[in-house]
Structure 1
Amino acid sequence: MVVSLVVGALWAMLPAYVPNNAAVLAGGGRPIDAGRTLGNRRLLGAGKTWRGTVVGTLTGTLLALALNAVNDPLSAVVGVELARFPLRVGFSLAFGAMAGDVGASFLKRRTGRERGAAFPGVDQLDFVVGALALTLLVAPAWFAATFTPPRLVVVVVATPLLHVLTNVGAYLLGLKTEPW
């Protein structure tokens, strides 16, 4: 029961978990804020780029479609009914994750944090809030059927742990300049 709950929750979030990692790998390009400031601080910072946002969104959306392709055989192997992702859901999870991260960058700048500075809680859940909120707006019936309250609890508890592990791994591989 617990294993199927965790597997189902993490599966449903995969299209939201991958985009920010893909954006880091794609990196560079024109910043979304084009260098603009609000007061004396950048709106978002140089780390939020159009290329990263597009690559992250496409990667998450394509991952959702790939997960659909392996859904039936994998569901049989793990013994859990895994979510299927309509195209609009794959896109909303992926783009919502990217938008949540951009929103957190805006909050960081407004609270005086520089690029790469830790913002505990926000750093770990910004993309989750963005992905879930956009998906709820785009596909409310799918959202309600997939993200039951127990699954939402798993997502909120497991995501910070996964976030820390993946960021430390990216830092150790030299893909990030800070381990958070």
Structure 2
Amino acid sequence: MPEWRKIISDGKSDQRMSGWTVLLHLLLDLLRIVVTLLPAMTANTFAPFLGGGPPVDMGLTRRDGRRFLGDGKTWRGLLGGSICASILGFVLLILLHFLGLSSMENGLWGKFPVSLLIIPSLAFGSLFGDMLGSFVKRALGRPRGAKTPLLDQWDYVIGAFIFILPFYPWWYDSFISGGSWIALLLFLFVAWAAHQVANRIGYAIGVKKEPW
């Protein structure tokens, strides 16, 4: 159980102190989730820089002539983004261990060596979710770059969680149990807001073609 959740259940007499303490531990739980999901969050950042080459859908089209994914999803981006985000996760795993902030036996990504599977699953799952989002948008007839609320912001989260499902009870203990789901919901809101801000900045400086 996250410590902030335990504080709520204990019901301290000093309501003001308890309120600030609960908020602090909720924010720390949010930070834990952010660090845990960094391999998923950064995979889509690495992919565009490493992309290019043959598309994942190999140019195949539906019966109506529309592409399944489009030229924006390439094998180099998929593999390169997954590998780089996984390396970042492994570096964090080692760094947190040596700093004494997380142990190999029961760390942010579960027990070693299972953590060596969970981290790449988060990274690859994130890009799978991004491709799944593109597949859905193409199926709906939306052109590349078209705005699709919620799917644009959270498709990588959906994909990452699909790929970590086999690692129960780790994902349940990390994101659901003991009130962690509250911090997870807060993370989803923060991720949505950060996505909006980052895309508008990218559009303003000419990096992105659309402000979403």
TM-score, L = length of structure 2: 0.76
Q: Does 1:49 align with 2:74?
A: yes
- Output the CA distance in 1 between the equivalents of 2:182 and 2:39: 19
Aligned to 2:152: 123
Asked if the contact 2:30/2:184 (under 8 Å) is kept, the reply is no
Q: Quote the offset at 1:84 in angstroms.
A: 3.5
> Structure 1 length normalisation: TM-score?
0.88
RMSD (Å), alpha carbons: 2.0
SS at match of 1:41: coil
Return the letter of the residue paired with 2:94: A
Letter in 1 for 2:101: S
Q: 2:45 aligns with which of 21, 25, 41?
A: 21
Alpha-carbon distance between aligned partners in 1 of 2:211 and 2:101, rounded to the nearest angstrom: 34
Deviations 1:22-62 (A, max 9, x none): 01111211111111111221110110000100011101211
Q: List runs of 5+ in structure 1 lacking aligned partners.
A: none
Higher relative contact order (CA 8 A, sep 6+): 1
- 3-state SS in 1 of match to 2:185: helix
The residue that corresponds to 1:66 in the other structure is: 91
| Gap change, CA 1:75 and 1:172, over 3 Å in 2 | farther
Larger mean CA deviation between 20-29 and 118-127 belongs to: 20-29
In 2, Cα distance between equivalents of 1:141 and 1:174:
44
Of the two, which has the highest radius of gyration?
2
2-structure distance, mates of 1:160, 1:52: 23
Q: 2:37 is paired with a residue of what secondary structure?
A: helix
Unaligned runs of 5+ in 2: 1-24
> How many correspondences in the alignment?
175
Give the drift of 1:154: 2.4
1:91 Cα offset (Å): 0.8
Please name the residue that 2:11 is paired with.
none
Indicate which of 155, 168, 172 corresponds to 1:140. Answer: 168
Matched AA of 1:9: I
Any idea what SS the aligned residue of 2:79 has?
helix
Query: What SS does the aligned partner of 2:58 have?
Result: coil
- Quote the offset at 1:129 in angstroms: 0.4
Aligned partner (choices 137, 143, 147) of residue 114 of structure 1: 143
**Aligned pair in 2 of structure 1 residues 12, 141: CA closer, same or farther (>3 Å)?**
same
Structure 1 residue 92 corresponds to structure 2 residue 124: no
Could you tell me how far apart the structure 2 residues matched to 1:5 and 1:104 are? 28
Inter-partner Cα distance in structure 1 for 2:45 and 2:120: 16
